[in-house]
């Protein structure tokens, strides 16, 4: 998706989610459940303002806010090692919704499980 200016970005927030647009948030919740992330952890994520803001929004906005949310979760772990830098950079990837979910599952999810995130 190409946003040419601030007005494009603002309009995207105000536009109804297209019917054929993948619901990244819903798919992410399914991935978390399939990987035995506890329901209270999922509910904690869903209660966050970044996440509440993207319910029924365009997949671009969902990826953007999910990346912010998980980046913050990783930053605020007590792990100050260099290991978290590539993890956080992987969240910046601006591919398709499906590609973002694959990256999340392959790169971010193992760290989430290992560190009992979100907190």
pLDDT single digits (tens) 6-29: 776 677 788 888 899 999 999 999
pTM for this predicted structure: 0.88
**Angle, CA 89 vertex, CA 30 and CA 38 arms, to 5°:** 30
Domain boundaries, the chain: 22-114
Q: List CB contacts of 41: < 8 A, sequence separation 6 or more.
A: 32, 116, 117, 118
Question: What's the pLDDT tens digit per position in 26-51?
Answer: 999 999 999 999 999 999 999 999 99
Residue 80 is predicted with a pLDDT of: 65
CB-based contacts of 66, cutoff 8 Å, min separation 6:
24, 25, 28, 50, 51, 54, 100, 104
Q: How many CB atoms lie within 10 A of CB 112?
A: 21
pLDDT value of position 31: 98
- Reported as a single tens digit per residue, the pLDDT across 91-108 is 876 789 999 999 999 999
């Amino acid at each position: 998706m190409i946003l040419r200016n601030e007005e494009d970005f603002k309009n995207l927030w105000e536009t109804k989610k297209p019917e054929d647009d993948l619901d990244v948030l819903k798919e992410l919740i399914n991935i978390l459940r399939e990987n035995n992330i506890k329901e209270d952890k999922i509910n904690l994520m869903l209660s966050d303002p970044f996440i509440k803001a993207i319910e029924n929004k365009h997949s671009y906005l969902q990826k953007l806010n999910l990346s912010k949310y998980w980046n913050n979760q990783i930053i605020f772990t007590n792990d100050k090692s260099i290991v978290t830098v590539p993890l956080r950079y992987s969240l910046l990837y601006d591919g398709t919704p499906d590609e973002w979910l694959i990256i999340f599952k392959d790169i971010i999810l193992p760290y989430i499980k290992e560190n009992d995130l979100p907190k």
